[in-house]
Structure 1
């Protein structure tokens, strides 16, 4: 049976001043004031370096065009055009700094009230969280954020997560979302790795002694299955056609790890936890875990609430790419091309 969360708090309008006040009180209560200031300062520093660096590259590109059309070198036009070329990037970064904290305050405000309305607990973050899934043993700077936990629809915990890995001296940031559910009956340890196109690299791998197990059919094109040799047969029994269909319907873009007495559904990106569709998905995942348990007990799994096309559409939207990314890129690229064309035209006119 699927439990429905009360998502009224996620849909209700928010008074920005109240959200800001509560955020400041929460930061002071949790002793995070220095960290917030330091983090904000670091983001501003990164933006300044990015804009200045882009300005230098723009100036070099303008100079190169000017040389191509007969100019003797850089002049005032070079720096004016370079500044105009990077102005949209600077505007985007400034707007991000102004809107980002406000949006974050609203998310915390809504999640805190959502948790209270559903008998759940909410924490804004946890450094270096210790969980049994392989994800939590990889990399550095490990942080879980927006941690929501509770006893229903079964004992669970959900959060966004970030960590860094290193290739030589290059830092590789990774993000994820996890929903972990307690099991009421044991299941064999296994890892399912999604093969869905467009999903980011995971940054983590199945832990030894697990190794790849071959499956046939459509399921094999959606997931890779890993388990130890000793549990291969129980895993094959568990992943019946009905269970495979449920996994493909609800978690095609996520990895799944069964370890100890918990099931972890791991998505390779941050998910919008203040959206009602996220909690609709969490309730469906809890039903999926019940299907796994039923199959593990050799019982007939109950059906999943996946026949609702609107529900599927809302779930797919959770994993959709951010809408503003391509528009922002084009907004920065067009001034670059216009600036280079202007440099060529101005140089041609002034040099005769």
Structure 2
């Protein structure tokens, strides 16, 4: 994504210029024929058609039944002429259901057409769907039915991916759908697992992140940063977090990404939003491109970081280059020093810094449990049970 990443200027015309319906239909037809559209999208059209038919039948069925009833009353029984209203009703249902399906399909096709052209215009590539994306972020390993859609991916100056992600938890009537927009930036070296929980997008019950992190891992950086983010880093990596989040980098996050949750894990930087990241809205793309551009020129400093726990002296004392005089039986030291570069830790993170510790979200469990009790027994029943338990 050389153009958007280098500056906030980008070509938004494919998102807003008038679309030729014939071109959109031909593009969607070719896309489906190539197999790039997953079967779930085709199946959803069939389900939508059935629901549309049932809805139309529900709306007009009572009218048809009323007409038939009136005709039967007037004629004193069934007449062949009564078939006509039934045929008309079936025809109306079929026409309206077909129109709704075509309208739904046309909107999806136009979205695909616009995003594909937008990606090409900005030196990127668009993918309709990526099932089970192999990303290590905290939102990507949860639940079932995991799918990233409308993925826009750039390769230069480094790998950056924008997408919308959906996963489901539970089953049946208790199934919940979780939606995230995300930006994934590939780093050239692994870093400790660090999370910036944006304060501005928290709910009434606290963080909106899908994972509850142990509070002992919080690190205060004070000032505007603490008012915008809660930073979590692995225990023992506080100094490393301070190295990574220098004042200038903290200012970049506060100024550009205060509405986003941030996660650094392995050799990835993730930005999470509770709305679509890959969208037809030019303003959203302008904002996300500005965030990425603001961070890219600071990543080189991060990639110089090394975990001192992986230094040769920390792993194997024998690996440290010592004074060769001991091996020479007390002879004079050689007139050069051992190269210090050989003692520099290799890229990587020690096991204790690779993942943050998580906790059980007791507050959410208690709230959900209380809500279920109220639904099952009602407020008076719950209150009576509490009084009975206290009296015993």
Normalising by the residue count of structure 1, what TM-score does the alignment of the two structures yield?
Answer: 0.63
Given candidates 10, 13, 25, the residue that maps to 1:8 is 13
Secondary structure of 1:158's partner?
A: strand
Q: Supply the distance in 2 between the matched residues of 1:9 and 1:36 (Cα, whole angstroms).
A: 23
Superposed CA offset, 1:218-254 (max 9, x none): 3223222111113221112322333223212222221
Give the match for residue 172 of structure 1: 176
| Aligned partners of 2:45 and 2:105 also within 8 Å | no
- Output the CA distance in 2 between the equivalents of 1:223 and 1:106: 38
Change (3 A) 1:259 1:297: closer
Report the CA distance between 1:206 and its aligned residue. 6.2
Is structure 2 residue 158 aligned with structure 1 residue 154? yes
Q: Which has the larger radius of gyration?
A: 2
Aligned residue number for residue 227 of structure 2: 221
The whole-number CA distance in structure 2 between the counterparts of 1:185 and 1:229 is 20
- Matched residues in 2 for 1:35 and 1:174: separation? 17
In structure 2, stretches of 5+ residues that fail to align are 1-5, 60-96, 306-392
**1:27 to 2:69 alignment:** no
Q: 1:233 aligns with which of 236, 239, 247?
A: 239
Residue 292 of structure 1: how far off its partner (Å): 3.9
Q: 1:203 to 1:186 in 2, by over 3 A?
A: closer
Say yes or no: does 1:252 pair with 2:258.
Answer: yes
Ranked by relative contact order (alpha carbons within 8 Å, sequence separation 6 or more), the top structure is 1
Between the aligned partners of 1:199 and 1:36, the Cα distance in structure 2 is 32
Select 2:138's aligned residue among 107, 112, 134. Answer: 134
> Per the alignment, in what secondary structure is the counterpart of residue 107 of structure 2?
helix
User: For the residues of structure 1 that align with 2:54 and 2:221, how far apart are their CA atoms?
Assistant: 49
- The 5 A counterparts of 1:62-101 are 99-101=103-105
**Preserved CA contact (<8 Å) 2:181 2:277:** yes
Specify whether residues 238 and 203 from structure 1 end up closer, same or farther in structure 2 by C-alpha distance, changes over 3 A only: closer
Alignment partners' CA distance in 2, 1:251 and 1:15:
36
> Closer, same or farther in 2 for the Cα pair 1:211/1:95, shift >3 Å?
farther
| TM-score of the two chains, using structure 2 as the length reference | 0.57
Aligned to 2:341: none
TM-superposed deviation, 1:50: 8.8
- Between the aligned partners of 2:292 and 2:53, the Cα distance in structure 1 is 45
- Confirm or deny: 8 A CA contact 1:165 1:171 kept in the other structure: yes
Deviations 1:95-149, CA, capped at 9 Å, x for gaps? 9866443222112111111222233221100111111111110111111111111
The answer for unaligned runs of 5 or more in structure 1 is: 55-92, 300-352
- How far did residue 6 of structure 1 move? 2.8
Q: 1:290 to 1:269 in 2, by over 3 A?
A: same
1:119 lines up with 2:144 in the alignment: no
The 1-side partners of 2:241 and 2:197 are apart by: 14
Deviation at 1:14, TM superposition (A): 0.9
1:145 equivalenced with 2:145 (yes/no) = no
What SS does the corresponding residue of 1:152 show, helix, strand or coil? coil
Change (3 A) 1:97 1:268: farther
Number of residue pairs matched by the alignment: 262
Give the root-mean-square deviation of aligned CA atoms.
3.7
